Amino acid sequence: MTKSDTPSNSVPSVQVIERMFTLIDVLASREEAMSLKDISEKAGLHPSTAHRILNDLVLGRFADRPQPGSYRLGMRLLELGNLVKGRLNVRDAALAPMRELHKLTQQPVNLSMRQGDEIIYVERAFSERSGMQVVRAIGGRAPLHLTSVGKLFLATDDPQRIRAYATRTSLQGQTKNSITDLPRLERELSRVRQSGQASDNEELELGVRCMAAGVYDDQAKLVAGLSISSPSGRMDDAWMPKLKETAQQISQTLGYRGGA
């Protein structure tokens, strides 16, 4: 492979930029300030080279020098990080992965968020070939305990909050499969916590099943749920690993660094 054929995401084409990235990674590996000696050793750079680049990083506020000869990450990185975070949008991060998941399953893929005692559908990927008689419209709502995504959110609540939800909503059902009593709901939510996934077995709508996995932000907070809806006879449990993988991909775009 010639130099011009080298993939653009392998190493920077300018050596000093590559070294700057290395130094930033070294500083990021420690919470406390590091000595020039430790930094240069970990970076594999001569102390004079590391010193020169670190001084430039300090000028740009990408590094701080709390005392002579020691360095740590600078506040400029926090400022830039907050700008990036502010531009991140769950829907924008999810749309392309959702379309890919829909291509794989040929079933509607939904992105939902919690709003009070309901979930609200904020995005979807579907086609007429799915065979679904009803596709939830963007902006549509449904009770938490009757939906796979809603169960994900309820499972993050403590027992007292779950009981309060049951009291407020009376756990009203919509089909013969709806969960309408608290002990059964608590058992269901325990399974959700253990597995990290949730399902709706014709509980909201007869003839329709759903499976869901959570989407998390950079604070490891559940911010949305990704679900596949399908006619009951077409639901395939083999879709779940890909669903969880897609939810993890969206989460990582939002800054989440936890496991799947």
Structural domains in the chain, CATH included, are 11-85 (1.10.10.10), 88-253 (3.30.450.40)
Residue 5 has pLDDT above 50, yes or no: no
Residue 22, both tokens: 């290395």
Given a contact cutoff of 8 angstroms between Cβ atoms, the answer to whether 204 and 110 are in contact is: no
Q: What rounded mean pLDDT belongs to the chain?
A: 88
Q: How far is CA 25 from CA 34, 125, 218, in A?
A: 12, 38, 19
What digits encode the pLDDT tens for the residues 201-214?
999 999 999 999 99
Average pLDDT over residues 178-197: 96
Q: Are strands 222-231 and 109-115 parallel, antiparallel or unpaired?
A: antiparallel
Query: How many CB atoms are located within 10 Å of the residue 47 CB?
Result: 13
pLDDT of residue 129: 61
Q: Could you please report the per-residue DSSP string of 162-209?
A: HHHHHHHHTT--SSTT---SHHHHHHHHHHHHHHTEEEEESSSSTTEE
Amino acid letter, residue 146: L
pLDDT of residue 181: 95
Residue 35 has pLDDT above 50, yes or no: yes
Q: Please give the helix or strand (H or E) that residue 95 lies within, else none.
A: helix 90-105
Average pLDDT over residues 154-168: 96
Average pLDDT over residues 85-90: 70
